[in-house]
């Protein structure tokens, strides 16, 4: 029985030690959500005034990357590769907000269960002030974790919609650019056929 008591004490000590990193993680998560919200608000205001900066950068890059002096046989493949790389970067930008959606509740739950164990231990020892303090920590951590997650989820809904719209517009711009380049390439090929 003493081995079991030793293992339980070991687990209690480990979980008590984990409280500090969990609370620190939640504090950092709240700062991160506030910073992300600032960027989200800036992007929202920017999109109200016209196309997104990602779309403008893509349009400029498309004009630079695919000039008239390219191999017409490889143009479709290169354009598709360029489009896929840009789409992947946009999708990766969503991973930052999805991280908060998943980690917020997990940290909140850990931040609830760890102080509850400390609180029950304090109750058994008759230390009521420590028990009350632990209960306050338990409830505030779950509220903060869920609050961060809900805020991140609401922002991600709109951000995913923006990303899907940008990807659709990028595909359209790529098709237009390829047709434009093919139209410029056709007269050159016809002239070569006439010469031969």
Residue 188 lies in a domain: no
52 torsion bin: left (phi>0), alpha (psi -120 to 50), beta (else)? beta
Smallest CA-to-CA distance from 171 within 83, 53, 82 is with 83
Residue 54 lies in a domain: yes
Determine how many CB atoms are found less than 10 A away from the CB of residue 162: 19
Kindly report, residue by residue over 95-115, the tens digit of the pLDDT.
Answer: 889 999 999 999 999 989 888
Sign of the CA dihedral running 83, 87, 88, 93: positive
Residue 117 lies in a domain: yes
Give the pLDDT score at 130: 85
pLDDT at 190 over 50: no
Give the pLDDT score at 184: 65
Residue 195 lies in a domain: no
Residue 131 lies in a domain: yes
Side-chain half-sphere of 169: how many Cα atoms within 13 Å?
16
pLDDT at 4 over 90: no
41 torsion bin: left (phi>0), alpha (psi -120 to 50), beta (else)? alpha
Domain count, the chain: 1
Residue 83 lies in a domain: yes
C-alpha to C-alpha distance for 142 and 135, rounded to whole angstroms:
11
Q: Please give the C-alpha separations between residue 125 and each of 115, 122, 131, 135, in angstroms, as whole numbers.
A: 15, 5, 10, 15
Determine how many CB atoms are found less than 10 A away from the CB of residue 94: 14
Residue 30 lies in a domain: yes
Residue 62: which domain range? 2-183
Going by pLDDT thresholds of 50, 70 and 90, the confidence category of residue 187 is low
CB 59 within 8 A of CB 68: no
Kindly report, residue by residue over 40-84, the tens digit of the pLDDT.
Answer: 999 999 988 888 888 888 888 887 776 555 566 667 778 888 888
Residue 193 lies in a domain: no
pTM of the model: 0.76
pLDDT at 183 over 90: no
């Amino acid at each position: 029985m003493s081995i079991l008591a030793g293992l339980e004490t070991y687990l209690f000590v480990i979980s008590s030690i984990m409280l500090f990193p969990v609370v620190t993680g939640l504090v950092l998560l709240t700062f991160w959500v506030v910073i992300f919200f600032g960027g989200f608000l800036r992007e929202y205001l920017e999109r109200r005034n016209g196309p997104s900066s990602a779309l403008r950068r893509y349009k400029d890059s498309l004009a630079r990357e695919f000039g008239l002096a390219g191999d017409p046989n490889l143009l479709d493949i290169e354009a598709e590769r360029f489009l896929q790389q840009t789409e992947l970067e946009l999708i990766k930008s969503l991973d930052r907000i999805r991280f908060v959606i998943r980690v917020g509740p997990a940290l909140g739950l850990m931040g609830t269960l760890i102080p509850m164990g400390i609180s029950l231990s304090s109750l058994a020892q008759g230390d009521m002030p420590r028990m009350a303090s632990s209960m306050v920590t338990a409830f505030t951590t779950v509220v903060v974790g869920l609050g961060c997650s809900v805020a991140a989820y609401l922002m991600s809904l709109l951000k995913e919609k923006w990303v899907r719209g940008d990807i659709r517009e990028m595909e359209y711009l790529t098709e237009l650019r390829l047709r434009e380049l093919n139209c410029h390439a056709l007269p050159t090929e016809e002239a070569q056929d006439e010469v031969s």
